Amino acid sequence: MLSIKKILLVVVMMLTITPLFIDASYVSTGRDTQENPDTISDIPAANYDVAGYAKLTENDNFIFYWQEDRDVLVIHDKRNGYTWKTGLDIDPTYTKAEQSSLCKDLKRQYNNDQITYEEFESGCAVPVDTITGTTSGPLMANSLLYFEYFSKGASDSVYQNNTVYSSYLKSTLYKVTSTLQMLNGDENTYRFTVYAQNLGVDKDLDLNIIVDMTLSEDGFVLNLRNEDLSGTALPYLSSIGLATFLGAVGGIDAVFYTTPKVDTVLGDYDYTEVQRDMVDGYSFVPDGSGALIRFLDNSVSLSKYNAYVYGSDPSQSIQSYRSWAGTYVPFKTASIPVYGMAHGNDQAAYVAYATSGDPYMYIISTPEENIYHYNYTHAKFNYNFLFDKLYTLDGDNPVSSISDTLNVFDIEMHYDFLSGSKETSDYPANYVGMALKYKDYLLEHGMLNEMTSALEDIGIRLDFLMADSESSIVGYVTQVSTTSDQVDYILGDILSMGISNISSGLIGWQKDGVTLGNPSKAEFTSAIGTKRNYEDLIAKYLDLGIDISLYQDYYNINDQQINLYRVAAKHPAGWYTRILTYEDPVSVFYYARPVASVQWLNKQSETFLDMGARSITVDGITTKLITDYTGDVTYRSDAIALYQDAFNRLDDDFVVNLTKPNLYLFPYTDRYLQINMYSTQYLIETDTVPFLQLLLQNTMELYAIYSNFSFYTDSDVLRMIDYNVYPSFVLTYQPSFVLADTNSAEYYTTEYGLYKDLIQSVYERVNGALSNVINAQWENREVVELGVIRNSYSNGVEILINYTDVDKTVDSTVIPAMSYVVLGGE
Amino acid sequence: MALIAIITFFSFLPVGVYASSSTTYTYALDDNKHYVRTQDAYLPGQTITDLALDKPSDIAIDQNNHLVIADMGNARVIVYDPVSGAITLEITDPQMLGPTGIYVCMEDSVYVSIGDIYVADPTAGYVFHFDSAGNLLEQFGKPTSVMYESLDFQPERVAVDKAGIMYIVSKGTSDGIIQLSNTGEFQGFFASNQVHLTWFEKLQQLVYTDAQLENLGINFTPPVFTSVYIDSTGIVYSSSSGQAVENIKKHNTQGTNMIADMFVSSSKLSDIFVDKQGIIYTSDQGGFIDVYTNDGEFIYTFGTINDVSVAGFFKTLSAIAVDDNGQIWTVDSGNNYLQSFMPTDYANTIYSAIINYNNTNYEEAIRLWQEVLRLNQLSILAHNGIAKNYLQIEEYSLAAEHFKIAGNRDLYSEAFWEIRNIWLQNNLITIIELLAIFGVVAIALKLVNRKYHVLAPVQSFGKKISNIKLINDVMYMSQVAKKPGDSFYYLRRHRKGSYLGGVLILILTFFSYLLFVAGKGFIFQYTAIKDLDLNSIILGFVVLIGLFIICSYLVTSIQDGEGTMGEIFLGFAYSMYPFIIACIASTLISYVSTNNEVFLLNTIFYVGLFYTAALIFISISEIQNYTVGQTIKSILLTILFVIVILLVLSFIQMTIKQVFQFLEEFIKEAIRNVIN
């Protein structure tokens, strides 16, 4: 007879044995033999020419050289004959002061008739880049890599941030040696080792960084594995920057000139500072929809573009655990880890993107009016950061500290070079080419999937704001602006106008409304709509081909809607990270831990599935990333993995609507909501371009920001057509002042009755253009003249858009003012 | 890192709604005078960075719609055409060292010509008068008048009227705006600012010595003027910095402020401009641009200060001007560039609506305000605007509806008066007739009842109700009010009334008071119900009454009073009748009254209050068997005692809070040490 004990024993044995059979991947241990280590070999001295360049390899498109003294990789593009360098490649010892003393010497010789004027002039009248007059300028300009680290002396109260460049060092502040060696005998792979010594206040720390470089027909790839960082300075490592001056343009030369002897006046020399002629071109940064920073000689000092990819991290980017909301529109997020530079007009360009390490990446574009006088754009990766450590209960007198643990990640940066125009290349040397190149990379690697639509009309997004709560004499009272029956009425009305390809999100569907509804539950109230009401509504419209989803923000939370314990993310200072606003009735907001967000998403999605919903709308976690310091730290890359896993599970059951998703959620996005139509408008940004839209077109449906709020004029409609984006509106049945005392007071105009006609007119205008290019690939965007755009598609259709207020003629086609024309197609 | 923090911190806001190309939010006022976001009024236009400016400090628009800029750091004045992008004129003069103020004359007269440029230069100490070609015509230095002898002349801003009279804001002069004749003679101070002290500060001024006042840092010098402007109709406007009220002044010919009551959005204004329609624009040091109607009604505000160079952000907003196309031009002296802002449809519609109203085109104005409401359903300005128009065309109900939404009690009262008036006119006859019929019926019924007792069942039912002990006890309070002396005696002897009745009466008092505080008609209900702190009201009510009764008992028992605590309680409770009636009555009346009848409401309330106070007085006198003098003394002592106890209670509350905080810290520290 089986006793309990025996059964338990069998079970335990089964459990212990089973893993041995289940384990599929091979894990090597000390009893096995490992793979061979990488073979490193020096580049033979004979390979270096007189100027110090060694040819590394040559392929169909490029010849690669390496400048050993200055650590500059030279890329000669055979397709257009243009040469790119990862650094400025200047001799840092050749300074204005040196030239000046040489000139002085030559002048003396000339005035003593020891040399001729020609000899004097040829030796002295030479331009010198004034960047050499600065201590770190030429180092930074040449270096393939630089790193920053924190140091603090015993008597210092704050940490200093010090920068060390990999390139040749001319001062003795610290020592850096860097070498490039071939890897495994493969002339396409190299290892760049940087060893820095004498770091720190006591000059007793060191750091070793290894970067692997792979050369290919596209360009080159830099790999920096986390395990390849070592040294006693490692805990203080703040960030590592790569290829700072790749494609940099600008420079001010001290142009020396001589004057000959005349009568009694002796020969002399002097210099003037002359701005070097700048190559026409621009940097591209992924600010909002995309922005170009043309190379200009700015006469005022403007701040640089400095964005943390996927948005700032409330835990690492802000020293204090709390921040205040401002009176300005939040800056647009860099949602894709890509940037680029173009030189000339469709001649030469490169696009740089991170395929690993992207959650920790800064994209920095520095304009010309800085101390070095160059326009340069590069990427930097964040390892450690400063934060205010708190020792008192009231949060006062914080102590600035750095984190005990670094962000752990590998860096992989691709630099692909483009050449030629649309006629000669699939990837022209401009931002369109950059977008198409990056898009192909993402498609190849499954980050994007091409979609096909069976419908003949474009979609329209109609979100409904259902309810929110305001203060009452005791607690809160919910103000309902739309009920589920009213949603039914409005959708029915719109259907009757002939608009059928509709998708809807219900905001504030839960009991207590948008702000106080609990994201971890699904509670209904008959005042807004019972569970049954919603089920009937969803089912009814599913039959009509309209999907209705319930919207939820799983990131921004407050203590009135849910108990924060174990659910709100903590700042490294140990307190809940929060933001203080001037809103009413809830003014303080916290951020949900990624683990909690994902739990809620799973739970609510099960309920939605039960209710018959085949669509889900998510906000908050789609566009924000936070490092959570509750217990075991959840880093940004961990958060990304959690989110990807959660959405992966939803992908099969739902049509996924995401608000402003970052790159890592693109594989799961069916509809991209509230896509940025503008950039942040930094003053250095000279153009706004639809890079994001070019990237995503035909892989998911793109919906614009709500037209209700200053986005409904003719030029806004044209912008939607130009950017291949569909219209969206947020509606209520009641007038919006019903919500005037709630947190939703910012939805200041939403009443359906007022928007009925506008919805129809905006939809018809945009549909009139974009219905012709459903399922077609957006191939090119051209500025025919200022204010006139031509978009070309793979099905032969061209859409010409005229933003100006006069009629324009393009190739004998007249485009009326503030209007568009569709040409060609099947 | 700090810069990164500034750049990035606000991006953590809950994802909300923000318009397309705007970089700052636009705010208007709601009905509680709080700022609320509204549709974007202005979008960033051009940023002109290539003029090589150095600390530019003022801007004006000339007759050709060009910008005239005081480029202080470069000691020059430039005229710039934003359309062609060219500098059309550059004015320098060996005597001009650092111009900070510009005024362009827009009219021809005997004294000035159109396009004349007046430049105020505090470093040089002169006001320069150039013609439109940049030739120096005259310059005005420190006035030679005796009155001006001891003062400095450092003109920062200048405005000139048709007669060539100059209104000058001089650096550091707190005496006011200097008025110079067209020949530079000192004519006096056109206007001055007053010092506004709070009550507490006034008290301090009385009590403290001068040295102590200085230590406290209270500013007794009037706030300085920062700018002066004369519009196309010749009215002088000024802006000041550093005070909460009267920052913006619209002066009459005597210099008095015509819009003294207006709500001013910012306190540190740097410049003021008035366009041809009379719309007032101000810039402030916090980077905000505020816009008002000509009557001083606040329209909206936008802007921000931020180190990051983004279109529409300021480092130092020093001056503002508006060109003929409605475009706002601003000067950022910290960033050395000009920033322009384009008005949106929303802004233009609002301005049109205001203009139409001023021109008495009410129908058109209503249509425009409705368009504004479509763009922003929460716009108090639009609701007010539309309501004022409805008022003019005698659509009183619609006017009242919109005034109510806008929270405009004064004008709602006017509209309501009209509605009531019409209602009365229409229905007065009917009411009188009904009253007459009712009177006749009542008399007839009484006569019939006397003979045939038809109302007997009703009367007996009524008697049955009133015979219920509890109801009888409660209703006894009406007796108390009519005959206090005897009634209190009966109360004392427990022949009438009961403790339960007393409690019920106090509950009734509380609810009637709550009704009065929270339930009045719209015109008189100043606090929204949701803003009431119910907990405090309940606590206050219970504690005060409880304390009063206890202290009264304690005081009277020391002073040979005869009453027990129970009797004092009964006496107090049963005195509430007039107060209850007053609260209910004034609440009810508030629904049909207007501002004209506020005296009536106040009278009813205070009569009830004083009557109740009198009854309490009598109750103490009766119950304790005191003389009048003794009663007064007892009441005063009671009040004093209540105050003392309240102070002691609050002190205890503070210290208990400290004790709990200490315990909390202690435990947390212990836990932390154990875990670590």
Per-residue model confidence (pLDDT) at position A168: 66
Average pLDDT, whole number, for chain B? 86
Residue-level pLDDT at A648: 94
Burial tier of B253 (Cβ tally within 10 Å: 0-12, 13-18, 19+)? exposed
Residue B500, pLDDT > 90, answer no
Beta bridge partners of A579: A323, A589
The CA distance from A797 to the nearest CA of chain B, in Å, is: 28
Kindly indicate the confidence band of residue B538, based on its pLDDT and cuts at 50, 70 and 90.
confident
Q: A687: helix, coil or strand?
A: strand
Q: Quickly state the pLDDT bin for A172 (edges 50, 70, 90).
A: low
Banded model confidence at residue A23, pLDDT cuts 50, 70, 90:
very low
Provide the pLDDT for residue B265.
Answer: 83
Task: Nearest by CB to A681, from B34, B44, B405: name it.
Answer: B44
pLDDT computed for residue A12 by the predictor = 58
Rounded Cα gap, residues A306 and A287, in angstroms: 10
Question: Which residue has better confidence, A173 or A720?
Answer: A720
State the angle between helix axes of B380-392 and B362-375 in degrees (0 to 180), rounded to the nearest 10: 160
pTM: 0.86
Q: Is B403 on the interface with A (CB under 8 A)?
A: no
Please give the interface size between A and B, counted as residue pairs whose CB atoms are below 8 Å apart: 198
pLDDT 10s digits, B601-636: 899 999 999 999 998 888 888 888 888 888 898 889
CA separation for the pair B514, B428 (Å, rounded): 33
pLDDT value of position B44: 92
Q: How many residues does chain B have?
A: 676
Is residue A619 within 8 angstroms of chain B, CB to CB? yes
Chain A positions in Cβ-Cβ contact with residue B37 (cut-off 8 Å): 745-746, 748
- For the stretch A264-299, pLDDT in tens is 888 889 899 988 888 889 999 999 999 999 988 777
For residue A660, is pLDDT > 50? Answer: yes
> Of B417, B372, B373, B408, nearest to B388 (Cα)?
B408
pLDDT averaged over every residue in chain A: 89
Name the closest residue on chain A to residue B378, using Cα atoms: A737
ipTM of the complex: 0.85
Within 8 A of B11 by CB-CB distance, chain A residues are 311-312, 330-331, 333
Q: Which among A300, A323, A737 is the nearest to B336, CB-wise?
A: A300
Judge whether B284 and B25 are in contact, CB under 8 Å.
Answer: no
Low-confidence winner among A80-84, A392-396, B467-471 (lowest mean pLDDT): A392-396
DSSP A132-178: GGSSSHHHHHH-SEEEEEEE--TT-SS-EEEEEESS---SSSSEEEE
Cβ–Cβ below 8 Å for A709 and B19: yes
Mutate to test the interface with A, among B46, B309, B350 (most CBs of A within 10 A): B309
Q: Which candidate, B368, B425, B415, B423, places its Cα nearest to that of B394? A: B415
Euclidean distance between CA atoms B355 and B347, whole angstroms = 12
DSSP class of residue B244 equals S
CA distance B350 to B26: 14
Selected residues 535-594 of chain A with any CB under 8 Å from a CB in chain B: 553, 556, 579, 581-582, 584, 589, 591
Calculate how close chain A gets to B88, using CA atoms only, in Å. Answer: 19
Name the residue facing B20 among A303, A716, A754 (closest C-beta).
A716
Contact call for B308 and A300, based on CB within 8 A: no
Task: Let me know: does B132 contact B108? Beta carbons within 8 Å.
Answer: no
**Which pLDDT tens digit goes with each residue over A633-654?**
999 999 999 999 999 999 888 9
> Nearest-CA distance from B113 to chain A in Å?
35
> Which of A291, A725, A711 shows the shortest CA–CA distance to B19?
A711
Residue (of A371, A302, A377, A298) closest to A343 by Cα position: A377
CA pair distance A623, A416, nearest whole angstrom: 27
Task: Judge whether B179 and B187 are in contact, CB under 8 Å.
Answer: yes
Contacts of B668 in chain A (CB under 8 A): 393
Distance (Å) from the C-alpha of residue A645 to the closest C-alpha of chain B?
Answer: 23
**Residue B115 φ/ψ, nearest 5 degrees:** 90, 0
CB contact (8 A) between residue B12 and residue A579? yes
DSSP summary character for residue B222: P
Number of Cβ within a 10 Å radius of residue B615: 24
A19: preceding bond cis by omega (within 30 degrees): no
Asked whether the beta carbons of A604 and A519 are under 8 A apart, the reply is: yes
| Nearest of A282, A283, A338 to residue A309 by alpha carbon | A338
Pick B321 or B461 by higher pLDDT. Answer: B321
pLDDT of the residue at B119: 95
Among A300, A579, A751, the residue with its CB nearest the CB of B13 is A579
Q: pLDDT-based confidence at A138, cuts 50/70/90? A: confident
What is the mean pLDDT of the segment spanning B358-377? Answer: 89
Partners of residue B311 in chain A, C-beta under 8 Å: 681-683
State the nearest Cα–Cα gap between A613 and chain B, in angstroms.
24
Q: What pLDDT does B39 receive? A: 84
**A325 close contact with B: CB closer than 8 A:** yes
- Summarize pLDDT for B113-154 with one digit per residue, the tens: 999 999 999 999 999 999 999 999 999 998 888 877 878 889
Mean per-residue pLDDT for A352-357?
Answer: 96
According to DSSP, the β-strands at A726-731 and A460-465 are: parallel
Interface of B with A in 437-456 (CB under 8 A): none
Distance from CA of B529 to the nearest CA of A (A): 6
Q: Residue B606's pLDDT is what?
A: 93
Nearest to B375 among A386, A683, A749 (CB): A749
* pLDDT at residue A193 greater than cutoff 50: yes
- Confidence band for A533, pLDDT divided at 50, 70 and 90: very high
pLDDT band at residue A63, thresholds of 50, 70 and 90? very high
Location of structure tokens 């109709």: B233
Is residue B73 classed as helix, strand or coil in its secondary structure? Answer: helix
Quick one: which of A110, A112, A130 has its CA closest to A258?
Answer: A110
Q: Which residue of A has its CA nearest to B533?
A: A473
Which of A166, A180, A176, A144 minimizes the C-alpha distance to A41?
Answer: A180
Beta carbons within 8 Å of B648's beta carbon, 6+ residues apart: none
Are B534 and A474 within 8 A, CB to CB? yes
* pLDDT at site B2: 39
B529 touches chain A (CB under 8 A): yes
Does pLDDT of A223 surpass 50?
Answer: yes
Q: How far apart are CA B609 and CA A587, in angstroms?
A: 40
- pLDDT tens digits, A450-498: 998 888 999 999 999 999 999 887 789 999 999 999 999 999 999 999 9
The structure tokens listed for A722 are 């130009």
B367 touches chain A (CB under 8 A): no
What is the pLDDT at residue B9? Answer: 35
Kindly tell me if the per-residue pLDDT of A213 is higher than 50.
Answer: yes
Q: Is A394 on the interface with B (CB under 8 A)?
A: no
Q: Which amino acid is at B353?
A: A
Pick the residue with more confidence: B237 or B574? Answer: B237
> Which of A471, A660, A748 faces B39 most closely, judged by CB atoms?
A748
Q: Which pLDDT does position A13 carry in this prediction?
A: 59
B330 close to A (CB below 8 A)? no
